[in-house]
A and B are shown apart, each in its own frame.
Chain A
């Protein structure tokens, strides 16, 4: 290929390239990773609709504005803005503009078996655990992850000792706290030791009306026989861009469940990668997305069954009001060695708005011959018969719709095991519906 032919750089790309010029040198592995990530962005730029993985989320045309990397947030502002999941009993870490705010974070008095530090501190100390970063390498260039790898300076690094059962969740609250639009990047790492159990929650929020860009990536390394629950709540400001990546390396006989709940941002893309590298594991990825106005949200999954006997289950629900657009892409790869794989994927959309659109793209790539895999996608309006039934009992139309939407979303939200987090998500769904009514 002729390397001289380059598309014209958009303003957003130029701003990102300027940011990338600041990626520090250094001879260690992490520095190499960062430079490689920066180079891959220089070569490929922002993905557009001709890049298959971004077909329905053309980042190049959606992300127009050039913004600098965010500076340090004022503590009081970060504190005032970080509202989500406050009622949940959890160890709380606040990341504002991409950096952990120690004054707002519960970093001391760690339970036995829990070690928690900041990404910046781990880097400064040359912590060995960071060798786990970049463990899962997407088969194709992923701009969102590459930018995160190149530009993230901070985040949390959590290690759960083998066999430790950490009952209290860790909640990492990401917040954008700045008066002008900027980009923030955060990278976190969670290593769950063999036989350990842990619940990790993330939330994302920021002011409406600012086209800020949030980019977060969290890598999970799940040991043999471990149990990990991940719950994330995305309620970025109404004009924001939210790009995030969750990567899971799943050991044998382990159980991993992740729930992603998306309500915010003008444009959101969440990509989940799972590599099932240990036999007889169970992975459950579920999600719910509630969209209105002209919001655009994309949930993309890649599940890579590399070994025999694993089970994966995905259920994603999308509610689309007004002229919102939802995207679900799910790809299950079953390698030749991964016999007895059992994979099921389902995306369901409920369309409330006349102008709303849902794009579903399930993909199966199966190289083994003794597997059970299935996928499905549905898209429809509220059932008139159900609506009539509720109204015939005296429930007004809007309220009846709310009940039915809640029921629709509830099927996915119910999969969240942690009571406090599940209730908090139900409450957020109710707030969304109340704002609609």
Chain B
């Protein structure tokens, strides 16, 4: 059974005259696989990531999404997280007044609690964070500050990967993780992501550019346009896209 099974997903922006964004998208992701989703701006890539995470601004009008065979669309946002869905945001928000450490701990313990696991003890938690943070070049000062407050673009992305490393999700959805990163930051973030590749963990890497896929090498590449996947292939497809652009697909769909 696929870890994630998206079948004929249709979704629109919530509201009476909400625009339809996803128009029959299907995708199967097995444990251990890394799928890249590429496509032009406005093709619905970010919407897909938000719908998987459970953002309430969208309405699913048709189709199904299951995680380990369970109906994902029926779950609350926090329930999805506890089941192992993690969205690394394209633009992580700043949460002033909530210290990063407090936030990480509240997240981890809330997920564990929902899964019927014991809370992590303070020393274990501190050790866990210290270890993971060091690999991502995140210092103590950043951990003491409010979540993402005053972080640079690169620091925000690293902080997202730190959260991912601590929460150990089954399905990581990385939404344009490369946006706003210079080449050094891209390397650090990619190494962080690669370290999390595991046989029981799948990833969906959403990106506009092939550049990220030099660092996070996918098993499959999908091209998305106008709310659907229009072509799928291996990692070489990304190179082809880099050379030829998306124009061909946009014309096809038009």
Write the residues of chain A forming the contact surface with B, with a CB cutoff of 8 angstroms: 383-386, 388-397, 399-400, 403-404, 406-408, 410-411
Contact = CB atoms under 8 A, between A and B. Distances in A.
B149 to A, nearest CB: 10
B163 A393 contact: yes
Given A385-B93, A386-B95, A411-B97, A395 B54 contact: no
Contact of B97 (A392, A394, A397, A408): A408
Contact of B78 (A391, A406, A407): A391
A90 B98 CA distance: 30
Contact of B107 (A384, A393, A411): A393
Contacts of A410: 97
Given A391-B78, A394-B111, A406 B97 contact: yes
A403 B97 CA distance: 9
Contacts of A395: 78, 106-107, 110
A410 B149 CA distance: 15
Contact of B167 (A390, A391, A393): A393
B146 A403 contact: no
A218 B56 CA distance: 50
Nearest to B98: A407
Given A403-B98, A407-B98, A394 B82 contact: yes
Contacts of A404: 95, 97-98
Contacts of A407: 95-98, 146
A394 B167 contact: yes
Contacts of B87: 392
Interface of B: 53-56, 76-78, 80-82, 86-87, 89, 92-93, 95-98, 102-103, 106-108, 110-111, 114, 146, 163, 167
B102 to A, nearest CB: 8
Given A389-B93, A396-B78, 20 more contacts: A383-B93, A388-B55, A388-B56, A389-B89, A389-B92, A390-B95, A390-B98, A391-B76, A392-B77, A392-B81, A392-B86, A394-B78, A394-B81, A396-B110, A403-B103, A403-B106, A407-B95, A408-B97, A410-B97, A411-B97
A391 B81 contact: yes
**Nearest 4 pairs of A and B residues by beta carbon:** A407-B97, A394-B81, A394-B111, A393-B107
Nearest to A389: B93
A389 B114 CA distance: 18
B77 A391 contact: yes
Contacts of B107: 390, 393-395
B96 A397 contact: no
Nearest to B82: A394
A399 B80 CA distance: 16
Contacts of B110: 393-396, 399
A156 B55 CA distance: 56
Nearest to B92: A389
Among B76, B86, B95, the most chain A Cβ lie within 10 Å of the Cβ of B95
A28 B81 CA distance: 72
B203 to A, nearest CB: 16
A383 B94 CA distance: 11
A383 B56 CA distance: 13
Contact of B103 (A388, A393, A411): A393
A405 to B, nearest CB: 10
A388 B77 contact: yes
Nearest to B84: A394
Nearest to A395: B110
Contacts of B55: 388
A386 B93 contact: yes
A385 B108 CA distance: 20
B98 A392 contact: no
A183 to B, nearest CB: 39
A404 B53 CA distance: 20
Contacts of B89: 389, 392
Contacts of B114: 394, 396
A339 to B, nearest CB: 35
B95 A389 contact: yes
A400 B107 CA distance: 10
B104 to A, nearest CB: 8
B106 A399 contact: yes
Nearest to A407: B97
Nearest to A391: B77
B91 to A, nearest CB: 9
A110 to B, nearest CB: 39
B100 to A, nearest CB: 12
28 contacts: A384-B56, A388-B55, A389-B89, A389-B93, A389-B95, A390-B95, A391-B54, A391-B78, A392-B77, A392-B78, A392-B87, A393-B107, A393-B110, A393-B111, A393-B167, A394-B82, A394-B110, A394-B114, A394-B167, A395-B106, A403-B98, A403-B103, A403-B106, A404-B95, A406-B98, A407-B97, A410-B97, A411-B96
A150 B56 CA distance: 58
Contacts of B77: 388, 391-392
Contacts of A411: 96-97
Given A385-B93, A386-B93, A403-B106, A393 B81 contact: yes
Contacts of A386: 93, 95
A386 B93 CA distance: 7
Among A388, A394, A396, the most chain B Cβ lie within 10 Å of the Cβ of A394
A411 B167 CA distance: 28
Contacts of B111: 393-394
Contacts of B95: 386, 389-390, 404, 407
A384 B77 CA distance: 13
